[in-house]
Amino acid sequence: MVLEATMICIDNSEWMRNSDYSPSRFQAQADAVNLICGVKTQANPENTVGVLTMAGKGVRVLTTPTSDLGKILTCTHGLGIGGEMNIAAAIQVAQLALKHRQNKNQQQRIVVFAGSPVKNDKKALEIIGKKLKKNSVALDIVDFGGEDDGKAEKLEALVSAVNNNGTSHIVHVPPGLQALSDVLLSTPILTGDEEGGAGFAATAAAAGIGGSSGHDFGVDPNIDPELALALRMSMEEERARQEAAAAKRAEEEAASRQGKGKERPSKSEDVTMTESDDVEMVDENALLMQALAMSMNNYGSRSSAVGDAEMSEATGVDQDLALALQMSMQESTGGASSSETVDVSKVLEDQSFLSSILESLPGVDPNDPSVKEFLASVTNQFEKNEQDPSNDEDK
């Protein structure tokens, strides 16, 4: 591989606005410059490329020879168009830039894009050519745009003065449908003198220009496997990201459609839930009322049971009181003879006697209303028996 330092001279004059080369002269030239930069930097890792402009206010160096392809391609963007091309001054500045290259083992080459008329004399160009040959500088010229009839003659004289054993070349590209960069693919400017067609194919593939390389991303894995692998991985990651984004978008659309479809059923479900809630509330209210009624019944039954128990106890007390009264009366009359008749009514009428008897009984209160009621009932019963003697006879 040739170890080389190259300076590319870009024509940015007013003539570059013409559109006889697709899409315009300046854009076609920019594509060709990118092609050459890619080929030169990929041919040898130590190759360097610099760029300068030939029109405008003067010759301007955009970047000195460097192996950073990104820096080279960036400097060519946003260039202004104006003025006239000064090819003689541009070649001299390019030679000066190559003279101060860092690696002195690199061969020197200048590539000139001439898309506008050449104002310099033929003799002056021949002098510049001889100077380049003396300093071992090769020269390649891309001639496109045929406004000047003497342009081709001047440029060929310049190349003839520089040429040393076929190291310098000139290519005339007429206007047509074919792009400027595609025409350069088959020229010695890219193929070189030593590499031939095989060398050109490899460098063109490394530059990634056109579809004739036959490799993915325009990079031959045999030349730069790391770059080819990095490009392939980057493409796969981008494809996976796009597929994930598309799947996510489809899921969101499906979810939104399902949400719209569920709006109407949700209303009916709300009505059903409301009705079921009302039924449950009615059932709960009924159960609550039933529980209250049962509790009231239980309370009433308990109170009636308590009342019955109290009445039964009172009845038992009355019976005990009556039995005790009869026994006391029998004891008080036990000393008399059986033939003697006791006037019970008189005894009952004696309240002091009855009170003394009742006070002698344990747990009996003579002032208890129930006791008083019982005595009154007994007194009335005796009075009835005295008034109706038939009852005694029946008994």
CA distance 183 to 169: 14
pTM for the full model? 0.52
Measured CA distances, 328 to 177, 212, 333, 357 (Å)? 154, 147, 9, 8
Evaluate whether 220 touches 208 at the Cβ level (below 8 Å). Answer: no
For residue 305, the model assigns a pLDDT of 46
The structure tokens 């050519």 sit at 129
> pLDDT tens digits, residue range 18-49?
988 888 899 999 999 999 999 999 889 899 99
- Is the confidence at residue 10, as pLDDT, over 90? yes
Mean pLDDT of 1-19: 91
Q: Work out the pLDDT band at 220, boundaries 50, 70, 90.
A: low
Look at residue 5 and give its three-state secondary structure. Answer: strand
Higher pLDDT, 372 or 35: 35
Evaluate whether 11 touches 115 at the Cβ level (below 8 Å). Answer: yes
Mean pLDDT of 142-150: 81
Q: Work out the pLDDT band at 330, boundaries 50, 70, 90.
A: low
> pLDDT tens digits, residue range 47-61?
999 999 999 888 999
CA distance 111 to 142: 8
Of 189, 48, 42, nearest in space to 113 by CA = 189
The structure tokens 């033939």 sit at 339
Q: Work out the pLDDT band at 392, boundaries 50, 70, 90.
A: very low
CA distance 180 to 31: 8
| Residue 150 exposure: Cα atoms within 13 Å on the Cβ side | 8
Structure tokens at 152: 């081709």
Look at residue 282 and give its three-state secondary structure. Answer: helix
CA distance 379 to 366: 15
Highest mean pLDDT among 309-318, 331-340, 362-371: 362-371
- Is the confidence at residue 356, as pLDDT, over 90? no
> pLDDT tens digits, residue range 275-295?
555 545 556 667 767 766 776
CA distance 68 to 39: 13
For residue 335, the model assigns a pLDDT of 46
CA distance 279 to 271: 12
H or E element, residue 338: none
> pLDDT tens digits, residue range 103-124?
999 999 999 999 999 989 999 9
Of 197, 173, 196, 219, nearest in space to 38 by CA = 219
Measured CA distances, 105 to 64, 66, 77, 357 (Å)? 17, 15, 31, 156
C-beta atoms surrounding 51 within 10 Å: 27
Q: Work out the pLDDT band at 329, boundaries 50, 70, 90.
A: low
For residue 309, the model assigns a pLDDT of 46
Calculate Rg over the CA atoms of the chain.
66
Q: Work out the pLDDT band at 306, boundaries 50, 70, 90.
A: very low
> pLDDT tens digits, residue range 175-207?
877 788 888 988 988 876 544 333 443 444 444
Per DSSP bridges, beta strands 169-173 and 137-144 are parallel
For residue 127, the model assigns a pLDDT of 95
- Is the confidence at residue 352, as pLDDT, over 50? yes
- Is the confidence at residue 316, as pLDDT, over 60? no
Q: Report cis status (omega within 30 of 0) of the bond before 23.
A: yes
Evaluate whether 157 touches 168 at the Cβ level (below 8 Å). Answer: no
